[in-house]
A and B are shown apart, each in its own frame.
Chain A
Amino acid sequence: MAIALLEIEDIWVRYAGMPVIQGLSLAVEGGETVCVVGANGAGKSTLLRAVMGKQPPYKGKVRFAGREIQRLSTEEIVHLGIVYVPEEKMLFGPLSVEENLRLGAYILKDPQRIEQNLDFVYSLFPRLQERRRQPASTLSGGEQQMVAIGRGLMSNPRILMLDEPSLGLAPILVDEVLDTVRKLKEEGMTILLVEQNVREALELADRGYVLQTGRIMAEGSGQELLASDMFRKAFLGM
C-alpha cells in the first residue's frame, strides 16, 4: 500500500464539550474516491471540519502528503491543496456566479491557470456559464451546489472533500451531482465524499467507511459494504 495522501490517525474531536469523534482513523490514497457514510449526528461533517482546522482534534494526527496538519489554520490547510465544499454551500450570495468561482481560485497567482480552471468548471457545468453574470443567491438549489463544487475545483485541489453534496436536492438533481462526482473521479481527482445517499455513493466510491457515534464501524470496498449483513441492517433496513 502506497503512502496515503490524507491520513487520519486516531483523532478525537469535541464539539461544545461533547465528544463527537472518538478515536477515528482513515486514509485516502491519491486518485481514490472514498466515501464516508453514517446516520445524522455520527460525526461525518465534524470529521471534515476537523481536517480543515475548523474544529481541530484535541488528540490524534492528521497527515497530508506525509506532513502533520492538525495544528495548522484553515487558511494554511487550503494552501496545501485541501478543499472543502461545505454542506451549507457558503456561497457569496450577492456576487455573481463567476465572481464566486474566481474567489475559489483566490490562492492561485497565475491568471492563465485561473482562466483554464474557469473553462474546466464551465465545461463540467454548462449551466453555470449561461448564468455566469447572475447573483449566486438567485440560482436554484441544484445550481448553487454546482457553484459550490465548481468554486472548490477552481484552486486545483489535490483532494476535494464534499460534504453531503446532494442534501436537499430533488432525486433527478441528486443523480446529476453524483454523476459529476463520478466524472471528477474519472479525471483522476482524489475525493473524500460524505453522503447520505448511501447506496449511490458507495457504488461510485472505491472504498467506504461506516461511521457511527464518532467511530469507524466498518470499512471496505463499496460493494463489500453494500453486501455486508451489518451494513444492510443498519442502512438499508434489510
Chain B
Amino acid sequence: MDILISSIVAGLLIGMILALVSLGLTIIFGVMDIVNFAHGEFLMLGMYTTLFTAQATGIDPLLTLPLAALVGFALGVACYYGFIRFLLRGPMVAQLLGTFGLMLLLRNLALLLFGSEDRALHHGLLVGKSFELGMGVIIPATKLAAAGLSIVTFAAVWLLMNRTRIGKALTATSLNAQGARYMGIPTSRMNALAWGIGGGSVTLAGGLLVNFWSVNPFVGLLFTMIAFTIVALGGFGSVPGAFFAALVVGLITEIPGFWDFVTYTFDIGWMSDVPMTSFKYTWVYLAYFVIMVVRPRGLFGWKH
C-alpha cells in the first residue's frame, strides 16, 4: 500500500516538473503555430547553466535558477529575432525543418563546448537530503523543491497571461494575430515574448532537473518527446491542459515501477523477471499514439 502511495506521490512530483518543461512548447505553439523541436535543447542548456554556475562559484544550485531563466529568455528572444521571424514567412514545412535544424545546432554546439560525458551536481543545500511523509513515503528534497518551484513558476506565467495587459495581448495574438494587429498590438514583439517565456520557463525547469538528473548534450530529446506527449494530451496551445496532462504523464512514468514491485514481491512467473521500469517511456509514447487516435484535439482542445 505504502509503495502505491509512494509511486503516486513520485508521479505527481515529476508531473509538476514536466508541466513546467512543457509550458513553453504549448505557449509558443499557441501564439504562432510553430512546433519547437529545439525545446529539449533549451532545457539541456538550462541544466548546463545551473551546473556550471553552481560548480564555478560554489553557490547553491537553487540560487542559479534566475540566471538559468534569464539565459533561456535571452536565447528564446534571440532565436525569434535572429531566425524564427524569417521562418514565419515560409511554408509550414520550413518552420518544422527550421526548428529541427535549431535543435541539431544547439545540441552539437553543446557537444563541441561541453563534451559528451554525463555531468551531475554533487553539492547543494538539497542534494542527498530527503523528507519522510509518513507511511513509509520518502521523497528526495531536490524533487520536492523542484516540483514546488515548478508549480510556482507555472502559476506565475499563467497569471501573467491572464491578469496583465501584456499577457492579455499575448493571448489575443494567439487567438487571432491579425485581429490583434488591428487593435494596435505589436504582434511581432508578442511572438518574441512567447519565445522568451517559452525559453525561460524551460531552462528554469532544466535548472531544477539538474539537481537530480545528470546532463549531457543529448538529454534534450527525451524531454522534447515527453513534452510533445503532454502538449498533445492537453491540447496544443492550452496552458491548463499542459498542466493536467503533465500530471497524467508523470503518473504513467511511475506505474511500471509499481508494477515491478508487485510482480517481484508476489513472484508472478516470468513477469517478475522483466523490469517494466526499463520501458517506462514506452508507455508514455504509447499514450501519445492512443491520444492521437482517440482524441486528436487533446483534453482541452486546441488553443482553447
Residues 91-111 of B contacting A (Cβ, < 8 Å): none
Check: A1 CB closer than 8 A to any chain B CB.
no
Check: A115 CB closer than 8 A to any chain B CB.
no
Check: B181 CB closer than 8 A to any chain A CB.
yes
Beyond A103-B169, A106-B169, whether A92 also contacts B182 by CB under 8 A is no
B-binding segment of A29-37, A58-66, A83-91, A199-207 = A83-91
Check: A170 CB closer than 8 A to any chain B CB.
no
Residues 170-195 of B contacting A (Cβ, < 8 Å): 171-172, 175-176, 178-187
CB < 8 Å neighbour of B182 from A84, A93, A95, A99? A84
Instruction: Say yes or no: A155 contacts B184, CB within 8 Å.
Output: yes
Q: Which residues of B contact A93 (CB under 8 A)?
A: 175-176, 304
Check: A224 CB closer than 8 A to any chain B CB.
no
Q: Which residues of A contact B184 (CB under 8 A)?
A: 75, 78-79, 106-107, 155
Q: Which residues of B contact A107 (CB under 8 A)?
A: 183-184
Check: B122 CB closer than 8 A to any chain A CB.
no
- Chain B residue with Cβ nearest A78: B184
Instruction: Say yes or no: B182 contacts A86, CB within 8 Å.
Output: yes
Q: Which residues of B contact A151 (CB under 8 A)?
A: 183
Instruction: Say yes or no: A92 contacts B176, CB within 8 Å.
Output: yes
- Chain B residue with Cβ nearest A90: B179
- How many A-B contacts are there with CB distance less than 8 Å? 61
Instruction: Say yes or no: A102 contacts B182, CB within 8 Å.
Output: no
Interface size class, chain A: 20 to 34
Beyond A94-B304, A99-B168, whether A106 also contacts B175 by CB under 8 A is no
Q: Which residues of B contact A166 (CB under 8 A)?
A: none
Instruction: Say yes or no: B304 contacts A103, CB within 8 Å.
Output: no
Instruction: Say yes or no: B168 contacts A102, CB within 8 Å.
Output: yes
- Chain A residue with Cβ nearest B166: A106
Instruction: Say yes or no: A78 contacts B183, CB within 8 Å.
Output: yes
CB distance from B31 to the nearest CB of A (A): 13
- In the complex, A14→B248 CA distance in Å? 51
- In the complex, A151→B304 CA distance in Å? 21
Instruction: Say yes or no: A92 contacts B172, CB within 8 Å.
Output: yes
- Chain B residue with Cβ nearest A84: B182
Check: A70 CB closer than 8 A to any chain B CB.
no
- Chain B residue with Cβ nearest A76: B184
Q: Which residues of A contact B185 (CB under 8 A)?
A: 75, 103, 106
Binding site for A on B (CB under 8 A): 165, 168-169, 171-172, 175-176, 178-187, 303-304
Binding site for B on A (CB under 8 A): 52, 54, 74-75, 78-79, 83-84, 86, 90-95, 99, 102-104, 106-107, 151, 155
User: Could you write out 25 A-B pairs with CB less than 8 Å apart?
Assistant: A54-B178, A54-B181, A74-B181, A74-B182, A75-B181, A75-B186, A78-B184, A84-B182, A86-B179, A90-B176, A90-B179, A91-B176, A91-B179, A93-B304, A94-B175, A95-B168, A95-B171, A95-B172, A103-B168, A104-B183, A106-B165, A106-B183, A106-B184, A107-B183, A107-B184
